[in-house]
Amino acid sequence: MIRFDGVSKQHGRQILFVAASAVIHRGEKVGLVGPNGAGKSTLFRLVTREEEPDEGQVAIDRGVTVGHFSQDVGEMSGRSAVAETMDGAGPVSTVAAELHELEHALADPARADELDDLVERFGHVQARFDELGGYALEARAREILAGLGFSPEMMDGDVGALSGGWKMRVALARILLMRPDAILLDEPSNHLDLESIIWLEEFLKAYEGAILMTSHDKEFMNRVVSKIVEIDGGELTSYSGDYDFYERERAIADAHQQAQFDRQQAMLKKELAFIERFKARASHAAQVQSRVKKLDKIEKVEPPKVRKQVDFEFRGAPRSGEDVARLAGVVKRYGSRTVYDGLDLLVRRGERWCVLGANGAGKSTLLKLVAGTAAPDGGAVAVGASVKMGYFAQHAMELLDGEKTVWETLQDAFPRASIGSLRTLAGCFGFSGDEVEKRCRVLSGGEKARLVLATMLYDPPNFLVLDEPTNHLDVTTKEMLVRALAGYEGTMLFVSHDRRFLGALSNRVLELGPDGPVPYGGGYTEYVARTGREAPGLRELARHA
């Protein structure tokens, strides 16, 4: 269906692909992996013809339609979320827009004198809309938007009033409604909550077309894909399996290559020692020449590429009192909506609470109340004795000074720290070499998140309040953070949509459901086993295909 034949591509001095080849067959679900900057987005642009290869070709079978969801959604305003979703469905969207305008015109008293003409035109347009399957399409659009977390009010409201994250969901809904023969998905789960991620998994597993996608969510990748294409060193390598299979196979291949490299190096060392020892002796001249020629013909084995993995180690945090945070009879309202009405919660030292709940359940509000950035309308919130809190909010990245470099930001935060320790800190969070000289205003969302986490964790608090800390983080940084926090001795209260993060780090669960907050002893893994669901908004456990 889609073939990459001997593709080479270079951006300035950066070589992305060198005679790279791969194929995506009809109906295959493929995960695209590779380090940041390896060329994943460029590969998508080659498929959509936004870029052309320098050499080789990207061939797409005749008649194959391709839909592309990227993080750059563009401007959206002036229409409802449903209308914007249907806009990608071709001619029917134009007819739907006219039908909507005619409905408003018929209800407008100022146009009463045009009533006969409007009624006649409405009949023609309505018939055309029905002929194109418009009513079924609108129902499908609403079903997809509901799956992605939209309420009926949000579906019919102006899309321009939505946040960037919700506009991303509308853009994703458009692609899913199109049902092209092949879908290119660039981080589709980035702005979704857990319920929406699980719904999307089920949708994509049932989707009959081909999928090529990137994702920093390992669990999501494992549930959806059955093949991995890796970009590394300018090459495309295919693995027939999910992400965990790819990691195992890659580790085995690296071990074999290292063993081959070591054996060849030992042989070369032995041969070179012989040549060096006997090169001046006439009696051994023929043997020396024979071995020199042999070495010249040997195809050198390269060592496996080093996968940079730097671990961050926490300093010891000061010990807090036994009661870290207490909420008693807390009431919180936003306008006419009551989020909490008499919430009680005690967080004790060493506990790691993960907070689960559908959109609007009050997860971020709870964290704001504990962190003191929001005040309760009733009841009391108290933080215990000797508690030093670190709060990572979803807007924390916006507080960085755009004109300062990464290095200046770290130095300002820790003026007494040695250059060596700050270099190590920067390296742990993915800023090596010249990357520390980048100004904050040019950093990506993931880079900003890493920098904020670095400044928070270097001099560790004993109580971490984290609101979606893994948003925008790549797989390597996410795994490093999980390993680091697994060894953290303080207390945690956090929200995350990453199931590996939830399972590895929680030992308590607070479920915010329609019947009010329900605490569970044991972590997220125990919660799933006990309730039979992976999120409060789901009625049954989404199982592996």
Mean pLDDT (whole number) for 155-166: 88
Higher pLDDT, 218 or 86: 218
Mean confidence (pLDDT) of the chain: 89
Higher pLDDT, 307 or 287: 287
| Structure-block tokens of residue 307 | 């996968």
- Over residues 484-511, the pLDDT tens digits come to 898 888 999 999 999 999 999 999 999 9
pLDDT of residue 249: 93
Q: Look at residue 23 and tell me whether its pLDDT is greater than 60.
A: yes
For the chain, percent of residues with pLDDT exceeding 70: 96
Neighbour-count burial for 433-443, b at 16+ CB within 10 Å, e otherwise: eeebebebeeb
Torsion-angle region of 211 (φ positive above 0: left; ψ -120 to 50: alpha; else: beta): beta
CA atoms of 496 and 429, how far apart (whole Å):
19
Q: Look at residue 188 and tell me whether its pLDDT is greater than 90.
A: yes
For the chain, percent of residues with pLDDT exceeding 90: 53
Q: Look at residue 150 and tell me whether its pLDDT is greater than 90.
A: yes
Block residue for tokens 């925008």: 472
Nearest to 68 by CA among 36, 40, 93: 40
Q: Look at residue 399 and tell me whether its pLDDT is greater than 50.
A: yes
Name the amino acid, one letter, at 155.
Answer: M
**For residue 306, what pLDDT band results from cuts at 50, 70 and 90?**
low
Torsion-angle region of 521 (φ positive above 0: left; ψ -120 to 50: alpha; else: beta): beta
- Provide the 10 A C-beta neighbour count for residue 224: 27
Residue 434 DSSP one-character state? G
- Over residues 433-461, the pLDDT tens digits come to 888 999 998 888 788 888 998 898 888 89
The CA–CA distances, whole Å, from 351 to 90, 490, 521 equal 53, 8, 10
Q: Look at residue 36 and tell me whether its pLDDT is greater than 80.
A: no
Q: Look at residue 540 and tell me whether its pLDDT is greater than 60.
A: no
Mean pLDDT (whole number) for 132-152: 88
Strand bridging mode 55-60 / 29-33: unpaired
pLDDT of residue 307: 64
Mean pLDDT (whole number) for 261-268: 92
| Structure-block tokens of residue 240 | 């027939």
Please state the length of the chain: 545
pLDDT of residue 542: 42
Q: Is the dihedral of CA 452, 454, 456, 457 positive or negative?
A: positive
pLDDT of residue 539: 56
- Provide the 10 A C-beta neighbour count for residue 370: 25
**For residue 545, what pLDDT band results from cuts at 50, 70 and 90?**
very low
